[in-house]
Amino acid sequence: MWEDIQVEVEKVDAGNLKTKPSSGDLGFGNYFTDHMFLMTWSKEDGWHDAKICPYQDFKMDPASMVFHYGQAIFEGLKAYRGKGDQLFLFRPADNLERMNESALRMCMPRFPVDKVLKSLKALLYLEKEWVPHADGATLYIRPTMIAAEPALGVRPAAKYHFFVILSPVGAYYAEGCSPTKIFVSDEYVRAVKGGVGKAKTGGNYAASLYMSEIAKKAGYTQVLWLDACEHKYIEEVGTSNIFFKIDDELITPPLEGTILGGITRDSVIKLAKSWGEKVVERKISIDEVIEASNAGRLQEAFGSGTAAVISPVGELFYHEKSYVINKGETGQLSARLFSELQSIQNGQQEDSFKWVVRVG
């Protein structure tokens, strides 16, 4: 069990280290660092074989249950380079706790957050040169767990791999932090009440691809999902939560099991409240947003997420009609949230919420 195991460290030979990409060419998730963290869980031994090792391919049995029944969960967080080259993580324990909640929902084993966080910090320290120096570029961290038992019966697997890979990234959207165009889907849905919408499991993302491709072909960056029952209430954008500022009130859909409980979402709510903004978590229908837009009361809209950070929405497309938000420009609140979050994350701004964790 975890208490007894040592995290082995196997380093890549200095001569075999990868060439690091230049910060301008990063995009999102295209490059991976030299090392990764890996451990295995089995019914008999619990978590074992924990190691920091060279980034490597997996050899997996084609019957591994993840390939058939989709037991796969993941997380996304980032390491930031701040003043004096100090590295920081933003609310990392919250990501790992959320992963444990996803594990529970998907019948997968939970792990000790403090121990995994310690290993993650050790991995980051080893890979510190991979954390980009350029403004806005970060090292994206992807913890993942997959079912590894080779068996075809439909039941929870008896063996899992947990791994963490690291990828130096720039902005998630090609638009950077310029406003995106969003397609509102009232035909296809992402998640249903009682389903797995709030779990960060690969299937939720697979389910979003069909509509996302249609939206992309029509010139839209992302899809805004509506509820699966009435196709009326706003849920989330597949890669981020969503906020609307209407009549000086910041509104975001409540966490009722169908959307991801975003850590950036929670940070936005807390930050905005601390500035005296009125923030409400409540059901909001697409009709209410369209009505507010028509009446000139929709002041701004933005998505929030680890990858997307704060991503302003410049246009909504719904029922064959386009609704431009804030003249297609980044709103004041979106801009303030983006810059404040960024300066907390890279340690430049006082961290009164105690969100930031130093590495090394």
Which residue ranges make up the site for ligand COI (CB under 6 A)? 76, 205, 239, 305-307
| CB 304 to ligand COI: min, Å | 9
Question: Shortest approach of ligand COI to residue 306 CB, angstroms?
Answer: 4
Minimum CB distance to ligand COI, residue 228 (Å)? 20
Alpha carbon separation from 358 to 81, 85, 121, 304, 337 (Å, rounded): 10, 11, 9, 23, 22
Q: Which tokens hold the place of 318?
A: 């719904």
Report in angstroms how near the CB of residue 78 gets to ligand COI at its nearest.
8
φ/ψ of 321, rounded to 5, equals -130, 145
Q: What is residue 338's three-state secondary structure?
A: helix
Taking the complex as a whole, how short is the minimal distance between the CB of residue 27 and ligand COI, in angstroms?
Answer: 12
Give the Cα separation of 194 and 254 in Å (integer): 15
Task: Give 276: exposed, middle or buried? Use CB within 10 Å, 0-12, 13-18, 19+.
Answer: exposed
The residue of the chain with the least Cβ separation from ligand COI equals: 76
Nearer Cβ to ligand COI, position 252 or 306?
Answer: 306
Toward ligand COI, which CB reaches closer, 116 or 292? 116
Retrieve residue 75's tokens. 């997380």
- Beta bridge partner(s), residue 35: 54
Residue 298 or 313: the one with the smaller Cβ distance to ligand COI is 313
Least distance to ligand COI, CB of residue 205, Å:
6
Closest CB to ligand COI among residues 92, 305: 305
CB of 293 or CB of 304, closer to ligand COI: 304
Based on CB atoms, which residue is closest to ligand COI, 119 or 311?
A: 311
What stretch of H or E contains 202? helix 202-217
Tokens of 283: 């059901």
